[in-house]
Structure 1
Amino acid sequence: MNKKYMMIYRDVIGKIEKGEYEANTFLPSENELVLQYDTSRETVRKALNLLSQNGYIQKIRGKGSIVLEIKRFNFPISGLVSFKELSKQLGRSSKTVVEKLKIIKPDLFLATQLETDEEDEVWEVVRVRHIGDERIILDKDYFKKKCVPDLTIKICEESIYEYIEKTLCLEIGYAKKVISVQEATEEDKQYLDLHHYNMVVVVQNYVYLNDTTLFQYTESRHTPDKFKFVDFARRNY
């Protein structure tokens, strides 16, 4: 059995991990790899397919194979963690840019998500999260104004959860989360550094106070190459 494609696969992974092939750059062409490894085009293609399947490269028709970012941040699924807290855990420089802060009347969809009336006032907060020099999360938050009466740009740049807990003295209790992969919207393309991706990972959060009041609905839209969504589970007996 021809195992040379596995040798090529492991060799390319080694070069990616060492930085010889940097993220967001193209691998040598198929023809160049055929000559480099002294093998057939079929063998090279099997190696490239395996690299693609395991998330090391993205094959782009007519252009070649682009190297993907393999260093991903752990994003806790089960925890209720603010971006400020998450960035401290990551130990990376971060920044939040507030793109929108206003009071709105919710449409039917939003009123349904927040379990409120269309006449109730809701804070709409749109923020772009930066890690290093990349825009990696688009957060679209909606808060019931009767629960969170005042918000400012500064509060939204720092931590809304910190403001809710320390200034408003409210206890945030728990959240329900729905995770899906969706096609990137024009808004995603405007605010996120998607590179060659056309999909985003969307985490919908329904966040409740300790008294079971639903006060927040969020769509947190993530670039697909920067996060691993992790959880811890224990079997109950």
Structure 2
Amino acid sequence: MNKNIFSQIYSDYTQQIEAGTLKPGVKLPSENELAEQYGTSRETVRKALHLLSQNGYIHKMRGKGSFVLDMNRMEFPISGLVSFKELSERLGRTARTLVHEASLIPCPQHIARQLNIAEKEPVWKIVRAREIEGEKIILDKDYFLASVIPFLSSEIASQSIYAYLEGELELKIAYAKKEISVEQVTAEDKLLLDLKRDTHVVVVRNYVHLEDTTLFEYTESRHRLDKFQFVEFARRMPNEE
């Protein structure tokens, strides 16, 4: 692989995307076209496109090509798209999920705005407290499009919703936007979390997309301050549970 050409392709496209010259949704030239344009091999082009994808500049759709992502929607780095069950297993800590609600509801107006859908369109509302080593430190409030996910239950929510979506429904979860802020605790936080004397929580709002770019999930994850860790951008990798 020619490293100079690899770097040039990556640099050219990051600059154009960051400057707004290439707008969100624009399709990039094909691998063959880029190889001809830069006078290099498809392998070099493929690796440059892979790095652009991994760093959140483009989204590659099998059989369709590479499309520019909205960099404003990637304003904050995002963690790997893993479920709480996967994460707790990797950390080797004792953990459990307490499901407080799993119901099909008409979408409230403020959630409809987040999901870009009509108010009262059916969505699944899932409210879960995450307990690690005996302390409830995370409160997850998830909303899933019922048009994409026809069924959810407390049992599924207590295990891994992502394992169900990918294993049973064969959905391909691709990428997400996350917005992170520090906010005052609510009455619900005090009721469902072990906050001690905390007056604020870290709030991570997740906008999760399928491979075809459909925004199908909005999650508000509320973390106890002393247990929150900021991590870098990553994509969900194939074959992960």
Aligned residue number for residue 157 of structure 1: 158
Q: Any gaps of 5 or more consecutive residues in structure 1?
A: 1-75
Deviations, residues 82-125 of structure 1 (Å, cap 9, x unaligned): 10111011110100010011111112211110111113100000
Partners of 2:202 and 2:94 lie apart in 1 by: 22
How much has 1:228 moved relative to structure 2? 1.7
Q: Deviation of residue 232 (structure 1)?
A: 6.2
- 2-side partners of 1:152 and 1:127: how far apart? 12
Q: 1:78 Cα shift?
A: 2.9
> Which secondary structure does the structure 1 equivalent of 2:119 belong to?
coil
Aligned partner letter, 1:228: Q
When residues 232 and 205 of structure 1 are mapped into structure 2, their CA distance, relative to the original with a 3 A threshold, is closer
Verify the 8 A CA contact 2:80 2:233 in the aligned structure 1. no
Residue correspondences, number: 158
Distance, in Å, in 2 between the alignment partners of 1:189 and 1:133 is 16
CA–CA separation in structure 1 for the residues paired with 2:154 and 2:92: 24
- Mapped to 1, the partners of 2:152 and 2:104 lie a distance apart of 10
Question: What is residue 227 of structure 1 aligned with on the other side?
Answer: 228
Look at both structures and tell me which one has the larger radius of gyration over its CA atoms. 1
Rounded Cα–Cα distance in structure 2 between residues aligned with 1:108 and 1:227: 29
Matched residue, 1:171: 172
CA distance in 2, matches of 1:186, 1:78: 28
- Fraction of identical pairs, as percent: 56
Q: Distance in 2 between matches of 1:151 and 1:178?
A: 26
Which whole-Å CA distance do the structure 1 matches of 2:149 and 2:88 have between them? Answer: 24
CA distance in 1, matches of 2:153, 2:188: 23
Report Cα offsets for 1:9-50 as digits up to 9, x if no partner: xxxxxxxxxxxxxxxxxxxxxxxxxxxxxxxxxxxxxxxxxx
Q: Deviations over 1:48-105 (max 9, x none)?
A: xxxxxxxxxxxxxxxxxxxxxxxxxxxx933111101110111101000100111111
Question: What amino acid does structure 1 have at the position aligned with 2:221?
Answer: S
The two structures have a TM-score, normalised by structure 1, of 0.65
CA distance in 1, matches of 2:208, 2:101: 20
SS in 2 for 1:143: strand
Determine the structure 2 residue equivalent to 1:80.
Answer: 81
Measure the CA separation in 1 of the matches of 2:78 and 2:133: 22
Aligned position for 1:96: 97
CA contact (8 A) 2:78 2:176 kept: no
In the alignment, what sits opposite 1:196?
197
> Letter of the aligned partner of 2:88 in structure 1?
S
For 1:89, the aligned partner's letter is R
Partner in structure 2 of residue 13 of structure 1: none
| Structure 1 residue 143 displacement after superposition | 0.3
- State the distance in 2 between where 1:232 and 1:117 align: 30
1:214, distance to aligned residue in structure 2 (A):
0.5
Q: Distance in 2 between matches of 1:124 and 1:104?
A: 7
Matches within 5 A, 1:1-237: 77-231=78-232
Q: TM-score, normalised by structure 2?
A: 0.64
Give the Cα separation in 1 of the matches to 2:195 and 2:230: 18
